[in-house]
A = this chain, B = another copy of it.
């Protein structure tokens, strides 16, 4: 910038004015400055700008895994909103490790992001308190923060979604419905279990429930165990997208009824099509990002807790009737 200034024969401040489109610069001068900028290939040093202005025009996003379609969809939607607001997105994958989540958040904070969107991996978010007190808005998405933190949250309606799935299967004559889902330490998994259990009422049987990280071997073994029971399940409710896929593989053509939480590409092309409770990751991302920007614009109302509806999409696998 100094070079540009001397090349154009003006003061530093004038170049700054031109670069930022501030008024009060003679058109001819501005043109000269622009020419010098172009000639020297100058581009503003954002680090210096951020330091001086105290705003970074950067938003941080912590997700579980970009390679998971749910989070990449969410991520893309957040990016869209962030770009529309003239900001840049920093994002990172926690890989479901609380330590990694915290590291990411702290790295982002050290870079003085203007706001954060977090899909938490851990339970304890007290480390965020100082940042919140410093005025950085934070929105939790997909999962709420650990106890004692009162911040904006955007969730899917997991409980009623699981209820819909179970009632759908009940409606097709099933009374032995298995639930295969992620570790109940994960909020969404626990919520879906709760919805499942509530909808089943007296039909609930813990022998039909298996919750742990989705590996093909584990799911295959658990399913085999359940199918060997005196009253084996005739239907399966899968706790998330990855689980649904794993269950499909483990079933290997066995015709059990199946409803999965989360929609996924090709669910309609399988034989039979896979009935799912669909959430909309883009919507969740958009809502979270827009809420964040509302806070950045100065909205200081009480923290919001949004629950996005989900909907059941029948495609065949969930409509397989129970054998009498």
Inter-subunit contact A79/B93 (CB<8 Å): yes
Inter-subunit contact B47/A56 (CB<8 Å): yes
* In-complex Cβ contact of A67 among B65, B72, B89 (8 A): B72
- Name the interface size band of chain A: 35 or more
Contact with B along A198-213 (1 / 0, CB 8 A): 0000000000000000
Tell me the A266-281 residues at the B interface (CB within 8 Å). Answer: 266, 269-271
CA distance A75 to B65 in the complex (A): 10
Contact with B along A36-73 (1 / 0, CB 8 A): 00000101111110110000100000000111010011
Inter-subunit contact B269/A47 (CB<8 Å): no
Q: Does A228 contact B (CB under 8 A)?
A: no
* In-complex Cβ contact of A110 among B41, B45, B56, B92 (8 A): B45
* In-complex Cβ contact of A249 among B44, B88, B269 (8 A): B269
Q: Does A150 contact B (CB under 8 A)?
A: no
Q: Does A107 contact B (CB under 8 A)?
A: yes
Inter-subunit contact A45/B41 (CB<8 Å): no
Given contacts A47-B50, A107-B88, contact A76 B69 (CB under 8 A): no
CA distance A76 to B79 in the complex (A): 16
Q: Does A125 contact B (CB under 8 A)?
A: no
Inter-subunit contact A106/B266 (CB<8 Å): no
A261 to chain B, nearest CB (A): 17
Output the residue of A46, A66, A130 with the most chain B CB within 10 A. A66
* In-complex Cβ contact of A112 among B46, B112, B249 (8 A): B46
Q: Does A245 contact B (CB under 8 A)?
A: yes
Inter-subunit contact B269/A44 (CB<8 Å): no
CA distance A107 to B87 in the complex (A): 10
Cβ of A130: which chain B residues have Cβ within 8 Å of it? 41
Cβ of A167: which chain B residues have Cβ within 8 Å of it? none
Cβ of A69: which chain B residues have Cβ within 8 Å of it? 67, 69, 72
Cβ of A245: which chain B residues have Cβ within 8 Å of it? 265-266, 269
A106 to chain B, nearest CB (A): 7
Cβ of A271: which chain B residues have Cβ within 8 Å of it? 270-271
Nearest residue, chain B, Cβ from A91: B91
Given contacts A44-B110, A66-B79, A269-B248, contact A90 B93 (CB under 8 A): no
Q: Does A111 contact B (CB under 8 A)?
A: yes
Inter-subunit contact B47/A109 (CB<8 Å): no
Inter-subunit contact B56/A66 (CB<8 Å): no
CA distance A71 to B65 in the complex (A): 13
Given contacts A66-B76, A92-B89, contact A109 B43 (CB under 8 A): yes
* In-complex Cβ contact of A92 among B45, B72, B79 (8 A): B79
Inter-subunit contact B88/A46 (CB<8 Å): no
Q: 4 smallest A-B Cβ distances: which pairs?
A: A41-B130, A72-B72, A67-B76, A47-B50
Given contacts A43-B110, A89-B91, 8 further A-B contacts (CB under 8 A): A46-B111, A66-B79, A76-B93, A79-B93, A83-B92, A88-B90, A269-B270, A270-B271
